[in-house]
Structure 1
Amino acid sequence: MSASDIQSVDADSKHENSGWDAVRDLPPSAKLVAKVLEYNDTLTQSQLAEETLLPPRTVRYALSRLEDVGVIDSRFSFSDARKRIYTLQVE
């Protein structure tokens, strides 16, 4: 395998895991929230707290860290505008 082949493989793997690469350096709570969102399409903050068994404050912190690196999307809930729904945006 030539050096250009290795660079091509490295570039492909970085492209495939670019979102998860950003998550890799985050705290364990953020990784857990990301994994739960991976298995569930959309969840509210309270649903994430139930699923992860983390305190609501920790879930808020994890969500803010995930938003900082751009791997989650949030929008207002149609059923209750006081709540936000979170979706994982990792490719």
Structure 2
Amino acid sequence: MSNQQEAHSDIQTALEKLPPSAKLVAKTLEYEGDLTQSQLADETMLPSRTVRNAVAQLQRERIITAQISFRDARQKVYSLLATEALSAD
């Protein structure tokens, strides 16, 4: 098994263990690209608190990463680490 296949498998396993809200946030980032927490809340129609918890879980599992927004240094922009890992085989 190649490293890419192992990473794909690890991310899929991690996603399976997460709640539906975290999966929705991950899929939204896959389809929409990099977003802030408020943008994620708007796109997913989830409460801000739910998005905040989902983002924290996804970061712990190393599925997403956060960077400071260039537009507004008070905000973070979240992005997937491995977009291809979310796609179904």
Q: TM-score range by the shorter chain?
A: 0.7 to 0.9
Q: Residues 59-85 of structure 1: CA distance to partner in whole angstroms, max 9, x if unpaired?
A: 000000001100001000001000000
Q: Which residue number corresponds to residue 69 of structure 2?
A: 77
Q: How many percent of aligned residue pairs carry the same amino acid?
A: 48
Partner of 1:33: 25
1:50-69 to structure 2, matched below 5 A, reads 50-69=42-61
TM-score (norm: length of structure 2): 0.82
Paired positions, count: 82
| Structure-1-length-normalised TM-score | 0.81
- Is there any run of 5+ residues in structure 1 with no aligned partner, and where? 1-7
Letter in 1 for 2:74: R
Shift of 1:89: 1.2
The 1-side partners of 2:38 and 2:4 are apart by: 37
Could you tell me which runs of 5 or more consecutive residues in structure 2 were left unpaired when the two chains were aligned: none
Larger Cα-atom Rg: 1
The CA RMSD measured in Å over matched residues stands at 1.8
List per-residue Cα deviations over 1:24-52 (Å, max 9, x = no partner).
Answer: 11011000000000112200000000000
